[in-house]
Amino acid sequence: MMARRLLFLGPPGVGKGTQAQRLVGELGIPQISTGDMLRAAVAAGSEIGRRAKSFIDRGELVPDQVVIGVAEARLAEHDASAGFVLDGFPRTVAQAEALDRILERLGRELELCVVMEVAEPALVERLLRRSKLEGRSDDNEETIRNRMRVYREQTEPLVAHYRRRGIVRELDGLGSMDEVAERIRRAIAA
Ligand code: ADP
């Protein structure tokens, strides 16, 4: 049995988004990326986008209340009832606690937290390469360093939060996309 209510945790550039997308195709469940949703809101010029933009551009976290609202609305949509891959949410303890409440209200539970890790120099290199290809406004060196710091300080502690529940699977994010995908497949099938 494959787990179908999944959370991907890991530093910026580790490949969460890419791997989450692949899994969507294989399992037929949606990827829920608050980063993608916030960037879409910025592009659309919505109220949420206006509130989020300056934080994103500095590599800071968008305030919890804003992000929690976005994630909650998305999780309540019909296609998430069969499962989901959360990618980039939660990122703070307050968000993790909110997620627990949201899922409880929906009568669901997180099954697995997949933690991907790659050493920081390789991550920075990947993100700088991506900046040339995609032109994301937050992929410049100063902002990248800030996102790494924010991850270590605010998001990495969530690994302990989920480890206490016994649902953490850690894996090496270094390697080809296929190699990493295979590690993920094994981790969620076990
Ligand atoms: P990355 O993991 O490469 O930094 P994301 O697309 O996940 O990229 O996030 C980009 C930016 O969007 C973050 O730096 C932050 O400003 C904002 N963001 C995304 N998700 C969250 C969240 N859960 N809480 C707060 N801010 C978020």
Q: How far is it, in rounded angstroms, from Cα 155 to Cα 95? A: 10
Distance 88 CA to ligand 1 centre (A): 6
Structure token digits, residue 89: 């949410």
Q: Give the number of domains in the chain.
A: 1
Query: What pLDDT shows up at residue 2?
Result: 82
Structure token digits, residue 32: 């829920």
Task: Give the residue with greater pLDDT, 137 vs 82.
Answer: 82
pTM: 0.94
Closest CA to 82 of 5, 22, 188, 189: 5
Which CATH number goes with the domain that contains 45? 3.40.50.300
Q: What is the mean pLDDT of residues 140-156?
A: 95
Identify the residues whose C-beta falls under 6 Å from ligand 1. Answer: 12-13, 34-35, 38, 55-56, 59-62, 67, 88-89, 91, 95, 138, 147
Give the least confident one: 39-43, 139-143, 179-183.
Answer: 139-143
Distance 78 CA to ligand 1 centre (A): 24
Active site residue 91: yes
Percent pLDDT > 70 in the chain is 99
E strands, the chain, where? 5-9, 31-33, 84-87, 112-117, 168-172
How high is the mean pLDDT of the chain?
Answer: 95
Distance 37 CA to ligand 1 centre (A): 10
- Structural element, H or E, at residue 186: helix 177-189
The answer to whether position 91 is within a domain reads yes
Q: How confident is the model at residue 14 (pLDDT cuts 50, 70, 90)?
A: very high
Range of the domain at 55: 5-183
The answer to whether position 190 is within a domain reads no
Query: What pLDDT shows up at residue 135?
Result: 82
Q: Determine contact, residues 112/187, Cβ cutoff 8 Å.
A: yes
Q: How confident is the model at residue 61 (pLDDT cuts 50, 70, 90)?
A: very high
Active-site residue, from 4, 51, 108, 130: 130
Residue among 7, 61, 87, 117 to mutate when testing ligand 1 (max atoms within 8 A of CB): 61
Q: What is the mean pLDDT of residues 17-42?
A: 95
Give the atom of ligand 1 at the shortest distance from the alpha carbon of 95: 23
The answer to whether position 119 is within a domain reads yes
The answer to whether position 189 is within a domain reads no
The answer to whether position 188 is within a domain reads no
Q: What is the mean pLDDT of residues 118-133?
A: 92
Distance 25 CA to ligand 1 centre (A): 23
User: Does pLDDT of 39 surpass 80?
Assistant: yes
Q: What is the mean pLDDT of residues 39-56?
A: 97
Query: What pLDDT shows up at residue 137?
Result: 83
CA-nearest residue for atom 18, ligand 1, is 35
